[in-house]
Amino acid sequence: MCSGGKRRREEVRARNQQSRLDQEARRKQAELDRLAQQRVAVAQQQQERSSALQAQQSQQIAAQQAESALLQEQQVQRIAGIEGRAAASTAAAEKSKVESMAAGRAVASSLGVLSKAERAQGRTASVSKRGGKSRGSRQTTASLNIGATSSGSGSGSNLSI
């Protein structure tokens, strides 16, 4: 009987050992399942985050393209305005040049006419001859009649402004 009791104890020990090993395997498997679920959850979060970032990027690209188109349109308008002002300025400068040249020709023509005109000079005051031994400067011999006539010697005002 001794051999039957020993074998039985070994079987019980083997069953207990197997039970402990099975329990340890279930615990490890549960831990692996928990880690796998965490990885799946993290992967889903990353996928959702990636989708959200891609949508945000698409919106930003669309907004930047719209802003770029607006800026290009504004630049075209500014260039057109600058070109218009430049053309107007060039036309004004050309007009001013033509007017200046016409005024210059008119002045030159007037000066030419004046230079060719006969120079009629009025009578100047006569100067007395110096006496033999008299001292002093010579004097004019014109008489002064203020207001007597509108022309002649001594007429008019002697104003120098």
Each domain of the chain, given as residue ranges in start order, spans: 1-104
Q: What is the pLDDT of residue 112?
A: 80
Phi-psi region of 147 (alpha: psi -120 to 50; beta: other; left: phi over 0): left
pLDDT digit string, tens, across residues 130-147: 655 666 666 666 555 555
Euclidean distance between CA atoms 17 and 61, whole angstroms: 65
Taking 50 as the pLDDT cut, the residues of the chain under it are: 1, 148
What pLDDT does 12 receive? 92
pLDDT tens digit sequence for 45-71? 999 999 999 999 999 999 999 999 999
Q: Tell how far CA 136 is from the center of its chain.
A: 79
What does residue 85 show for φ and ψ, rounded to 5 degrees?
A: -65, -40
Token pair 């979060």: residue: 45
b/e per residue, 116-151, with b = 16+ CB within 10 A? eeeeeeeeeeeeeeeeeeeeeeeeeeeeeeeeeeee
The pLDDT value given to residue 109 = 86
Fill in the DSSP letter of residue 123. Answer: P
pLDDT the model gives residue 108? 87
Provide the pLDDT for residue 111: 84
Q: Rounded to the nearest 5 degrees, what angle is found at the Cα of 73, between the Cα atoms of 70 and 79?
A: 140
Q: What is the pLDDT of residue 143?
A: 58
pTM for the whole structure = 0.40
Looking at residue 110, its pLDDT comes to 85
Calpha distance 150→139 (Å, rounded): 24
Question: What's the half-sphere exposure (Cβ side, CA atoms, 13 Å) at 146?
Answer: 2
